[in-house]
Amino acid sequence: MANKKLKSASAQEFVPIQEIREGIAVLKNGALRMVLMASSLNFALKSVEEQEATIFQYQNFLNSLDFSVQFFIQSRKLNINPYLDTLKKVENGQTNELLKIQTREYIEFIKNFVETTNIVSKAFYVVVPYEPPVFETPKGAADSILEIFASKKNEIKKIPDTKFEEYKIQLFQRVDTVAQGLMSAGVRVAPLNTEELIELYFGLFNPGELEKGGAPTVTS
């Protein structure tokens, strides 16, 4: 039991997240991150003029930013078990024997198709960061510099509630800038809430667990 707890504690040292609060990931170094889910864009189906307009708008969006953003694409093997469970319930509820047979054959077709074909679902995300001012401290400048070099690698920097609200406003302004810029290029975005962020990060740090139903739950 002690070894298990020790391994769990050691694994947590590699996770840079301190907490997820109000849809914001707070890193151990005090930095803030918001994750936006982005819609896909079928670029190949657009006309040449539409493609050029999209590229131009996207270029303008990138040039207008005075902070960095991260684009992240998540590919995950499609899990059709919930869909198959629904079909099985439909099959069991069928009173017409012919429809029951057809439903059963359709279930087998879907299962065989997915097993022989590598079908993945893709999700697109934009990570918007905010780094609190490094020297925002009541100490003198020299003390601040010494404190930076003396800080431990895994030291957790707690953010006071008043500062969190202030930093959150700054982060939201950046999110609005990103959302408007991508909208001009035809891409819609929506911020992930706390539960969605937990599920996303859990899946990243625990590959394959979501398919097994191992995702954590959020209780209020």
How high is the mean pLDDT in each 10-residue block of the chain (220 residues)? 51 77 90 93 90 94 92 82 88 88 90 79 91 59 41 68 91 95 93 91 74 47
Q: What is the pLDDT of residue 11?
A: 55
Dihedral of CA 54/197/206/154: which sign? positive
Report the Cα 30 to chain-centroid distance in Å.
19
Q: What is the pLDDT of residue 161?
A: 84
Residue with tokens 């209020």: 220
The phi, psi pair for 21, rounded to 5°, reads -135, 120
Which of 19, 24, 17 has the alpha carbon at shortest distance from 168? 24
Biggest CA-to-CA distance, the chain: 83
How buried is residue 186: exposed, middle or buried, by Cβ count under 10 Å (0-12/13-18/19+)? middle
Q: What is the pLDDT of residue 67?
A: 92
